[in-house]
Chains A and B, each alone.
Chain A
Amino acid sequence: MENNIRLSHMSHWKTVPYKQIDNFRDFYYEDKSNNCYFMDWDRILRYHKATGYDGIELAPWDLSEILGLFGTPAEYTAFAKDHGIEISGMFHGCDDSHIAAKHDEVVAAGKQAVDTLAAFGGKHLNTCPGNNFYGNGPLDDEGLKNIASCLDEIGEYAEANGIQVGIHNEFFCVTNKLNHRKLIELTNPKYVHYCLDTAQVALMGDDLIDFYDTYKERICTFHFKDTADSEGVADEIRYAQDVEICDDGHRWFWEPGEGTLPMEELWKHIRDYGFKGWMTVEDDGAPDYLAAMALSTYYIRQVLGKIYR
């Protein structure tokens, strides 16, 4: 029986420098370490399928190397399909969207991202609505409206091209605890959806279950990850400079089930609503993505899967 939830994995692998390594054994013997296990797309995609994923979400900062190795988006997509993997979506950032004078530039970049994702055959353009809070916040109503205007225009273009734009709010983003719900309300629900990053919403200090219940009709996909800071992060940290990476190695994000978010309760709400579609596991900050991928699918299929799959 087909699952309601199809699992994808956010590609946080750093540059994967080979398309395919044919001299794998000889390459291994050069160093006799596990480095060679993470250096070609052939094996990376095999790991996706082997650990229960049907999709991969692309990172735009990897595209230059991917296109250099594969030539065209279609060739990468075909290579992934040969491994049983589809392109579920791509991340995008709307830097400077709060600045009215940058509107056209931001929209043009957004439309270009839509075109790129369409060329890869993906569906979800998961979009960070603006810059970091530090240096840009707090926003006034005008700034928030400018962001909404950009998102609406990109979203309308996306819908016409079979793509869904989903707001993806980082916990350190200029749209934050006090106004990220307001931003959602300002956007047109016909064109702008929501990508629920479970950890980011909690880190902002919002109530994950209430957020889901309030916006479940607009949630088109997920970035599914856990946090051990589920009570939220203090304003002075969220609004500070360069907070995503901690000096002492503290991790904001953990694999689902390894943190403290109420995942089973959320899952019951997801079941009750009957969500169907892509859910991207995101394990940024994990030291070993292969282990993180396997841990995540085990939890989702074996623990949460008893509730809904």
Chain B
Amino acid sequence: MKFCFSTEVVDLDNQAPNRNKRESKYFWDELNHLIAAGGFTSIEVPYEPKWDFGGRSGIPRTKRSLAVKFGTVSSYVTYLKENGITDGIACFHLNPGLFASSGILPMFLGAAGHFAEEMIETAAEAGCGIVTLSVTPTYYAAQKLIGEGSEEEFLDAVAGMISGLAAKAEEKGVVLCLKNEFWSLLRGEKIISFLEKVPASVKLDADTANLRIAGVSPEKFIRENADRIGVVHFTDTAFEDKDEAWKSVLPEFPPSIATKVFRDMGDGTVDFEAVLKEIKASCPDVTVVINPRNSYDISRSILRSRWFCDHINA
């Protein structure tokens, strides 16, 4: 089992004090040193073309941004290794929700498929063996894409796209995993039956907080699907979705009660000792991505994660 640290710790989407610095390259240069100082030697990169559209290439999250600032993907990996991230990139994650805003299904599938394929190629060039794809956008966004069609037709279309990506991933020697956030149409255990629609090479991304909020025990999920687990995300939460926030426009921000859904490691109620015990028993070689998603205080989250990893390993 290898621990890796997710740069999804940096919230670019939502308002926060001093957010402006997060668009400049110097911020990301220093972030590598902070992550390395926290004892992590590999990172996860959220693949977010959103920032390319505004020319924010200082944010190293896509093939384009890496090309603008570093020339090539492999040059970026060399730079990472020279700056403390000695094991490079362990995982990429694409959330295609960005492409759902049009509400037009063919546009969504076209853009999601295009950028997912680009992510796979980028991962291969970076020497990264895992990519994970959020399997559907939020329930709210998906309803607009479904329109007068049915959910089944929508999921069949998504499965068709994923099957194409699976072939690409196999060709490039990359493992394609599916992430099912608590706001997904395939939240919790709903994703299991969906796996029958896609090739066996497609694996699961077991994300602890997302499973927990969707009412599923992460350790049970890992135990029952051990042969399909391709990556595990350690995310923490204390959130109980009593008012169906998962159906709202911004489910990470429950409309009925403001709260931080994703917490720093150890600040929530996920039983990580039980999860870790299950991983050691069921899939001991899996990569575990530590993800204090959208942190309020990035340096603190890195150090809290290190404390957590040291403690949980003890």
Contacts and interface: CB of A to CB of B under 8 A. Distances in A.
B313 interface: no
A243 B56 CA distance: 9
A241 B55 contact: yes
A286 B15 contact: no
Contact of A287 (B18, B58, B296): B18
> Which of B21, B26, B250, B258 gathers most chain A CB within 10 Å?
B258
A242 B57 CA distance: 7
Contacts of B17: 34-35, 38, 287-288
Interface in B50-100: 54-58, 68-69
B258 A242 contact: no
A247 B21 contact: no
A248 B255 contact: no
Contacts of B56: 242, 245
A115 interface: no
A245 B257 contact: no
The B interface, classified by DSSP as helix, strand, loop or mixed, is: loop
Nearest to A250: B24
A218 to B, nearest CB: 28
B253 A17 contact: yes
B68 A242 contact: yes
A15 interface: yes
Nearest to B16: A35
Interface string A20-55: 011110010011011110111000000000000000
A243 B55 CA distance: 8
Given A14-B14, A286-B20, A288-B18, A245 B55 contact: yes
The A interface, classified by DSSP as helix, strand, loop or mixed, is: loop
Contact of A39 (B14, B24, B26, B55): B14
B15 A30 contact: no
Size band of the interface chain B makes with A: 35 or more
A33 B55 contact: no
A109 to B, nearest CB: 13
B25 interface: yes
Given A35-B296, A68-B250, A13 B15 contact: yes
A18 B26 CA distance: 31
A16 B252 CA distance: 12
A33 B297 contact: yes
A84 interface: no
Interface of A: 13-19, 21-24, 27, 30-31, 33-36, 38-40, 64-65, 68-69, 132, 241-249, 285-288
* Top 3 A-B pairs, shortest CB-CB distance: A68-B249, A17-B253, A247-B25
